[in-house]
């Protein structure tokens, strides 16, 4: 891992005959995405979430754009403000865009049912932590067709080269999934994931909520409750969020707080059964 100027890195990669890519978190960079989509050639970009089990989230997911000119004015706002965590840059071989998209599509969904999640490969913070943690011999399986990557991490631009670019099957125990995650970042990722899920599955409820308060602030409050109660399992978080989002007036549950000495699991099961009883689906 070395440090460099991204424009210098791009020029160096082009001199080596490589193709440049921009991996963009399009949900947070809609203006940049629309500017980059203004091209007559559809082979100059791809939407990563399309052709996957989460294709319904394609419009909010990452895009990969081929970059012909490091001086492209559309790149300037991104390169000048890397703290926005808009994504990262990569170099690939000529014609390898489909292979790069295929590589990350195979690594998108992590975990097993019912504990599945999305791997935010397009987040430069995720990429930076992974590359700082995994050994060099694990880089090819992680970076795949990418020859070199340039990304903002640790308040500076970093460059990491792939010792053996190519297409690799997903390993049984990916090294990058064992990277320690800071607590604040874990909460941020959880918030983003749940927020996207709610818009995809409970959009009308969120719209109604937005008439009373900011949905993002509301979600932060609910996730804070889950953290305080020790509700970390996906089914516990799902129950809390969806129940509170669709809460009737008067609410079926008046007091969500745990009883004294109650374990997180007992607390969850009590409220879950109480909700089923008051909604007519079960007995206490």
Q: What is the pLDDT of residues 64-113, one digit of tens each?
A: 999 999 999 999 999 999 999 999 999 999 999 999 999 999 999 998 77
Report the pLDDT value the prediction gives residue 256, as an integer from 0 to 100.
Answer: 94
pLDDT at 217: 95
Reported as a single tens digit per residue, the pLDDT across 107-136 is 999 987 777 889 999 999 999 999 999 999
| Residue 282 pLDDT exceeds 70 | no
Residue 167 C-alpha from the chain's centroid: 22
Reading the block at residue 231, the tokens are 């509700």
Res. 283: pLDDT tops 70: no
Q: Which pLDDT score, from 0 to 100, does residue 223 have?
A: 96
CA nearest neighbour of 3 among 134, 132, 195: 132
The residues facing 110 across adjacent strands are 117
Q: Which of 9 and 60 is assigned the larger pLDDT?
A: 9
Residue that the structure tokens 């983003």 belong to: 192
Task: Encode pLDDT of 177-223 as tens digits.
Answer: 998 767 777 888 899 999 999 999 999 999 999 999 999 999 999 99
Residue 260's φ and ψ, nearest 5 degrees, are -60, 130
Chain centre distance of CA 238: 18
Per-residue pLDDT at 199: 92
Return the pLDDT at 202: 93
CB 165 within 8 A of CB 145: yes
How buried is 168 (Cβ within 10 angstroms: 0-12 exposed, 13-18 middle, 19+ buried)? Answer: middle
User: Residue 20, preceding bond cis, omega within 30 degrees?
Assistant: no
pLDDT at residue number 284: 52
Question: Could you tell me which residues come within 8 angstroms of residue 280 by beta carbon, excluding any fewer than 6 positions away?
Answer: none
Q: What is the pLDDT of residues 213-247, one digit of tens each?
A: 999 999 999 999 999 999 999 999 999 999 999 98
pLDDT at position 267? 96
More confident residue, 222 or 284: 222
The chain-wide mean pLDDT, for the chain, equals 92
Interacting residues of 256 by C-beta distance below 8 A, sequence separation 6+:
225, 240, 271
pLDDT of residue 1: 64
Which tens digits make up the pLDDT trace of 253-273?
889 999 999 999 999 999 999
The tokens describing 158, both together, are 């970093």
Q: Which two tokens stand for residue 241?
A: 């969020």
Q: What is the DSSP letter of 19?
A: E
| Omega before 250 within 30 of 0, i.e. cis | yes
* pLDDT, tens digit (0-9, with 9 covering 90-100), for 145-161: 999 999 999 899 999 99
């Amino acid at each position: 891992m070395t440090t460099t100027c991204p424009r210098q890195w791009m020029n160096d990669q082009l001199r080596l005959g490589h193709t440049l890519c921009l991996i963009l978190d399009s949900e947070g960079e809609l203006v940049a995405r629309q500017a980059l989509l203004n091209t007559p050639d559809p082979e100059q970009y791809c939407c990563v979430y399309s052709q996957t089990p989460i294709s319904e989230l394609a419009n909010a997911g990452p895009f990969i754009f081929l970059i012909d000119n490091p001086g492209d004015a559309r790149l300037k706002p991104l390169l000048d403000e890397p703290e926005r965590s808009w994504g990262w840059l990569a170099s690939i071989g000529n014609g390898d865009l489909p292979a790069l998209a295929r590589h990350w599509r195979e690594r998108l969904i992590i975990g097993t049912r019912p504990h599945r999640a999305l791997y935010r490969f397009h987040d430069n913070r995720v990429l930076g932590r992974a590359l700082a943690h995994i050994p060099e011999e694990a880089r090819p399986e992680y970076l795949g067709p990418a020859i070199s990557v340039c990304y903002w991490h640790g308040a500076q631009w970093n460059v990491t080269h792939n010792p053996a670019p190519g297409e690799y099957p997903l390993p049984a125990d990916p090294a990058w999934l064992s990277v320690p995650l800071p607590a604040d970042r874990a909460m941020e990722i959880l918030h983003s994931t749940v927020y996207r899920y709610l818009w995809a599955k409970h959009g009308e409820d969120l719209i109604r909520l937005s008439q009373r308060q900011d949905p993002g602030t509301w979600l932060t409050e609910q996730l804070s409750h889950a953290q305080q109660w020790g509700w970390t399992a996906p089914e516990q978080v799902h129950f809390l969020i969806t129940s509170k989002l669709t809460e009737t007036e008067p609410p079926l549950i008046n007091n969500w707080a745990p009883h004294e000495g109650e374990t997180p699991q007992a607390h969850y099961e009590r409220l879950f059964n109480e909700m089923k009883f008051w909604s007519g689906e079960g007995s206490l």
